[in-house]
Amino acid sequence: MNYSKISETLRRELNNHGLANVLYKGALTAINTCIECRVLKCITINTPNPQFLETNKRYTCAFLTSEQLFTFAENSDYELSQQFLDTALAKGDECYAILDGEVLAAYGWYANTPTSINRELQLTFNPQYMYMYKGYTNDNYRGQRLHAVGMTRALQAYRERDYKGLVSYVEGDNFNSLKSCYRMGYKDFGTVYIMKSFGQYRLWHNSGCRDYDFYVELGQATEDTSPSPSFSQEHKPRARY
């Protein structure tokens, strides 16, 4: 065991996130050795941040057509399977992307109907909002905040279509992603707690979720992918505890 490396990692985590967050992440990791436990921080944004509307002029930013998407799916590096595209496009989901010529530099998916987050659970939300999921940035383009640029430009486009804004979630111990989202202008509105033991789920939603009709519930999906692609339009009765 490399204690020096562990010590350096811990020191970096403490410097970046503070003692309270490091202890929280450690406790959540310990719980997950016994049962599956997830804490989802629910976030929303309704005003585009001008700081993230501009990017390098060589990039093209736009919603992709189905023809473009199926062409990109031929390259496994882009993490777009044929099955995913068939189901996502059938339910009306859209992909906003940043292109560098013919290279797919970054993208994010946007849904307006119930969307699966794994094989057994799906997410429902107020249809006045678009749900952002499945963000991707090509390894060769990291560090340019293209994910933030793509989300902000997509938000602007949806606001022009009279949607109120975007909703999404971040795993509660993913502090780097949360910082990035807050920097863009996202705000917390609720928390979802998911526990699974002996094959059974227990789901809790705090009161903030009600304002956005934002609920995780039992659903059906045909494929387990991450992060949270869509596979089912069926709106099942909500499981609340």
123: nearest Cα among 55, 221, 200, 36: 221
Q: Residue 122 pLDDT more than 50?
A: yes
Tell me the Ramachandran region of residue 158: left when phi exceeds 0, alpha when psi lies from -120 to 50, beta otherwise: alpha
Average pLDDT of the segment spanning 4-20 = 56
Which is more confidently placed, 178 or 26? Answer: 178
The pLDDT score that the predictor gives to residue 35 is: 66
Place 30 in a pLDDT band, splitting at 50, 70 and 90.
low
Report pLDDT digits (tens) over 128-158.
999 999 999 999 999 999 999 999 999 999 9
Structural domains in the chain, CATH included, are 1-34 (no CATH), 35-218 (3.40.630.30)
- Between 20-24, 50-54, 57-61, the lowest mean confidence (pLDDT) is in 20-24
Q: Is the pLDDT of residue 224 over 50?
A: no
**Average pLDDT of the residues of the chain:** 83
For the entire predicted model, the pTM comes to: 0.80
Angle between helices 19-31 and 3-17 (to 10 degrees): 120
pLDDT average, residue stretch 68-90? 96
The whole-angstrom separation of Cα 241 and Cα 237 is 13
Specify the higher pLDDT residue, 106 or 12. Answer: 106
Buried b (16+ CB within 10 A) or exposed e, 92-107: ebbbbbbbbeeebbbb
Where is mean pLDDT largest: 18-22, 115-119, 158-162? 158-162
How much is the average pLDDT of 80-90?
95
| Number of other residues whose CB lies within 10 A of the CB of residue 2 | 8
What gap in Å lies between CA 116 and CA 215, rounded to an integer?
12
User: What local confidence, expressed as pLDDT, does residue 25 receive?
Assistant: 56
β partners of residue 42: 169, 190
Name the band, by pLDDT with cuts 50, 70 and 90, for residue 194. very high
178's CB contacts (< 8 A; 6+ apart) are: 41, 170
